[in-house]
Chains A and B, each alone.
Chain A
Amino acid sequence: MYPRPIPETARSARAAYIALVVGVLILWLLPLVTVMLTSLRSFEEVMAGNYWGWPKSFNFIENYTAVFKQTALARYFINSLIITLPSVVGVLVLATLTGYVLSRHRFAGNRLVFALFVGGNFLPAQIMMIPVRDLMVSLGFYDTYFALIIFHTAFQTGFATLFMRNFIAALPDELFQAARAEGASPWQTLWHVVVPLIRPALAALAILTFTFVWNDYFWAIVLTQSDAVKPVTAGLNNLRGEWVSAWNLVAAATIMVAIPPVAMFFLMQRHFIAGLTMGAVKG
């Protein structure tokens, strides 16, 4: 290991190390902590300018219920779910299919198709903005859930294909030879050999795609405009404009928007990190 591990016997060195790490962590997360603190304060306190003193009262429940009752945040949350969940399912299905074919079937242009998936994934969103917006307008999908679901599914399929192709390519060859010897059709091979083995990859992709789609802001403002469709990211920016002086409520909304991806991350951390590093390091 590098740096050299602090030995178990060096008790005081270990304690000092932990103290140092906690200190750095507090500094690292300080911006977020201040927002959390503000989200607990009362409106009077915020108006009086007490942003840093000890809160006179803890308005946790009041603020967080107010943000759902008085603003459209609940609507934005539902919108985000309606957009994110189908996109994740769509990406998993499409990427399993493309990843399987690209890793296990030789055909002319295989490498080119793969390179297009990988390269397209790195394109800046702005390069496709005008035609995508135009396409959604002409299909009648502009300012509907479909616009965002279709776009996110398409875009995330690029990264997911890279990921799935590498994962399936790393599976042992013998399995596929055996399947062929048994006379299994491509569909049977996919369903009975590949799918059971790629569960960890599917889990990692699901959490990554969820986070990417949930956190998207650019496409949310390009493809939607009404509150009935807008996801939380665009919604939060709206709330900030509407509730200029009610910083405690804006802070509560900010924290609420951050909770789903952070919670997902803590629940599935192993998959998230494995996915991110495998997707990046191997591909």
Chain B
Amino acid sequence: MTSTSALSSLLTDPSFIDPTNVFFTIIHRVCCDTPNQTAICPQQTDIGQRYGSKPKAGIVGRFPSQDILMYQYDAYDQKMVDERVAQYRDQTERFLAGEIPADEFQQLRLRNGLYVQRLAPMLRIAVPYGMLTSEQLRKVAHITRHYDKGYGHFTTRQNIQLNWPLLEEVPDILEELASVQMHAIQTSGSCVRNVTTDQYAGSAKDEIEDSRPWAELLRQWSTFHPEFNWLPRKFKIAVTGAREDRAAIQVHDIGVRIVEREGQMGFQILAGGGLGRTPVIGSLIKDFVEQKHLLTYVEAVLRVYNRYGRRDNKYKARIKILVRAMTPEVFAEKVEAEWATIKNGPGTLTDEEMIRAKASFTPPDYESLEDVNPQGELITDNRAFGDWLAHNVLPHKVPGYAIVNLAIKSTGVAPGDLTDEQMEQIADFAETFSFGELRVTHEQNVTLADVRKQDLFKLWQALVEAKLASPNLGLLTDMICCPGGDFCSLANAKSIPVAEAIQRRFDDLDYLHDLGELHINISGCMNACGHHHVGNIGILGVDKKGEEFYQISVGGSADSAAAIAKILGPSFAREEVPDVIETIVNLYVDNREADEAFLDTFHRLGIQPFKDAVYPSND
């Protein structure tokens, strides 16, 4: 097989797309006029010229001398990432030479985050537990500019996706990433994926313990785990260390919750949660695991799943199906028996390792500041600043500091998309205002976790200038949305135009603030990339005799009181959706008591009034 035919067969075969939970790229700034079968965009043809200026990956310690507040690779970590780049480069070359069959190369490239989908390949870059330094974000901006079309997509899994990389250039992109301690390892494929956590970890006021050291230990444990690289399906682990669960651990394959028992720190373990076509809330399988036993316990869970998870039907292959089939009790017993064979073995964490992990996430050099709000007068004078403070700024555990959420969702822009220039601006803001560090959130926003309150006004002004200050965090227009039928070949229906139509319908910011927290999640098909099951209002694209329709559900939640939304009834045509959403919102407004949130009103009223309102003919 020649390289051209290998490539084109890969690109035209629809089976090369991983069918579930793929945050397919949102491509709204398409620079090519026609669908591009070979994925070569005019902007991207001058490969040689760019190679000349490409920085080479070296070993450790490439960050500027400033204190880095997150885990830093040592020579071992760096070596593994560098060796993976070399291995993947060799695999790509052998594939292009026709030496690896397409079906096998699909699996190999997926384990490095490379999908091939409707218009072009997509590369998913790992952002472990959502944390990035300014340096790293600048590198991503550079990569989008030189290897792609100048923008990237922030996903609900705290990762970053490139929409138009060239398959043959991916090894170079990976080498660039490795030079700033980044990679795309295990961001897809049936293996353990990027470990996610609370975007406010280390700064949150309600934190019991920082979850990031544990997420990092799990990241290391799962990276290239040779036994668990070919699981029945993908596997996602989330960790939370706060009272409020901002990591949605109840809808993950394994959810890890940091708890304290009689003065001892440990973990509660949930298993079998997930979204997709069978949404399930995870079951508690272990009430308390001592900290040192975390990795061996997780290993036991994975081994039971690897051996007994279904492999005959990929829609029944997730761990949630196994846990349900066995019952959570029997599954937990099976794990317990497996764990007994490895507990206290070499995989048991040593005190030194736990100290090393914790010391990798040192608190920044906080100043001792008075915890007053220095902009008290400005808030009354400046309504827009006040709105932003009220909605996008959260309390911090250290007096005088605040957590700031940047709004990267505005009407007309696909949720989660950022241009190279915006990334560089955000990197600058992080450097100036938040110790050079930022987080990608599962709501597809960006967080600066350590901002001095006295700098808030200055930061806000800068964000307004950069169009990143929309005070819509958590409001109806801060929607989670998959790329949908515009770009994804699996979708039944488009989702971006639906999001945009809703954003246009609800364009009165005062009204939005009055509505308060209200999450709308949109998925273009039942693979649920837009997490529609856990939206307060969920919208699911369905195919009805070749026509695009939308099923509406109400009452879902991804927070500590996780709940799966209930379907209202028959689906609607796309143009009806904004009306239906408005009807639901009006019913809430008419019936809410005092400051009651949407979900609380829903729970009080039940689903019937909502059904009656959207299907009036049923009366």
A binds B: no
Report B's interface with A, CB cutoff 8 A.
none
Report A's interface with B, CB cutoff 8 A.
none
